[in-house]
Structure 1
Amino acid sequence: MLFLSLTLALAASTPPPPASDSREARDVLLRREVGQVALAQFQKFDPLWHPDQRDCAGLVRFAYRSAYKRFYAERVERPLWLDVQGRPAEFADAETLLTRSFAPLGRDEAALESLRTGDLVAFRQEHDSGPVFHLMLVVRPEDKAHAPARVVYHPGEKGAAVRTGVLHRLATEAPLEWRPIPQNTAFLGFFRFKEWMQ
């Protein structure tokens, strides 16, 4: 039921794309599809999403690749991502996605308000073995009155399920290290796919 209501809110509140075959129209469709693919994984894993790729970065890669295959297939004839050297690559981990394929929007309230479906919330946790990056995918209806912005993410553990929650609740209800607030040094900020900023 939650999945259905989220999907309906996303589809119903997103305005129809402009009639022209413009980049803007394509981007609206891509964003909507990225959100719907991500939310679908919350209900049931798509068998096309390989089990070895099921982590936070894998969810982002799968949702984007699926959306592009549906609405802009010629774009996925070359890899969507860049590797650490800046070369096109089929695979990129969370850190590499952030540093090479996404651009920071900021860490403040203005950045939060500017978020759109397909944007990311990013964290870096320090562990004895080194830093661990974590990504959450934003799903936000274009008409904010229809439903609040949500995050969809895979927690990273093998066999774990995809999770979702209301974005603004993270700021007050999540453990401090997972709160998307400027006071949290583990919070890297909000990010947008670079191709959607050109």
Structure 2
Amino acid sequence: MFAQVTRRGIGVMMAVGFVIVPAVSYFSWGRTVRTNLHPPSKNQPNEPRTTDRSVPRKLPNSLSSDMDHDGLPDAAELSTFMERQNFRHWFTGIAEMQFYRLSDSWNKDQRDCAGLARFAWREALKHHDRSWYQKMGSGYEQLGSDTNEYEREPSPLGEKLFRTDFGTYREDDIANGKFSEFADARTLKTFNCDFIGRNREEAQPGDLLFFYQPWVQKFPFHVMIFLGEAHIAPDGNKDWVVYHTGASPTDEGAVKKVRLAVLDHHPNKRWRPVESNPNFLGFYRLKILE
């Protein structure tokens, strides 16, 4: 009896085996085909995954797109939080350093309020290597990582960083003179910045303050750079600004570093950065940071 059962069991097992083996072979073949048709991802679980910052960003419509219609090509704007923070550190740090020691790289003929913003802006976007430090002079230190987007994917603007006319960016704007290496305070405000508000609580480091003084001075627009907390000799206060007073026929002017709390009590009320002052236009943010 046991022998019959055993033989019967063996027969059943053999029959099942003939069914299983082809099935296993079929699924193995199917898996092999799928593997050949769809190779495994390069980012396997046991391999380090590529980070977003190591991959150059891809811009729609190449270098000519202006998705936000702000007049600047998307390639000229800083697209990530870290890139914007890096720019803010360099922009404010370079501007503040001019209070302690004017850089030899800053053209003497362009030392005024807008010139300070242009100079710090341009230098903040550069590659800060040993050659850069030598040109800037002593006293400079590493303020953060470079804004690498300008190295990975060069801006179509070249040295003409500043927009000078209204409109959405077009490929022929540079050839048509709508960008320049120079921009006065009015041009910076009108074409290169967005209005944030007149409340200082909304300001971030690297924002600009504008004043308008018609009939009082030759150039009615004046600009200051909001530092927030000082890089040099910080005291815990976060309302520092830096600006150039502007030159005159008898005076070269000077770079000033002062707190908004002090300017609130300026003897000339026209220079007080308060909402009740009609000459204070408010805080503005660079479009490349928006």
Look up the match of 1:39: 96
Equivalent position to 1:67, from 84, 107, 124? 124
Contact 2:229/2:240 (8 A) holds in 1: no
1:114, distance to aligned residue in structure 2 (A): 1.9
Q: Which has the larger radius of gyration?
A: 2
Look up the match of 2:247: 157
- 1:59-100 deviation per Cα after TM superposition (whole angstroms, max 9, x unaligned): 000001000113344346252210135622111110011000
Equivalent-residue separation in structure 2 for 1:128 and 1:182 (angstroms): 20
Give identity over the alignment, percent: 34
* Larger RCO: 1 or 2 (CA < 8 Å, sep 6+): 1
Give the paired residue count: 175
Contact 1:78/1:88 (8 A) holds in 2: no
Determine helix, strand or coil for the equivalent of 2:220: strand
Q: Which runs of 5+ in 2 are unaligned?
A: 1-50, 54-78, 128-145, 168-177
Look up the match of 1:55: 112
Equivalent-residue separation in structure 2 for 1:65 and 1:78 (angstroms): 8
TM-score, length-normalised on structure 2? 0.55
AA at the equivalent of 2:110: Q
Contact 1:125/1:133 (8 A) holds in 2: yes
Equivalent-residue separation in structure 1 for 2:224 and 2:267 (angstroms): 13
Q: Which moved more, 1:89-98 or 1:129-138?
A: 129-138
Q: Which runs of 5+ in 1 are unaligned?
A: 1-18
Contact 1:119/1:191 (8 A) holds in 2: yes
Determine helix, strand or coil for the equivalent of 2:125: helix
Contact 1:148/1:167 (8 A) holds in 2: no
Look up the match of 2:165: 84
Look up the match of 2:195: 104
Task: Looking at secondary structure, tell me which structure has more strand per residue.
Answer: 1
Equivalent position to 2:279, from 169, 186, 189? 186
Contact 1:177/1:187 (8 A) holds in 2: yes
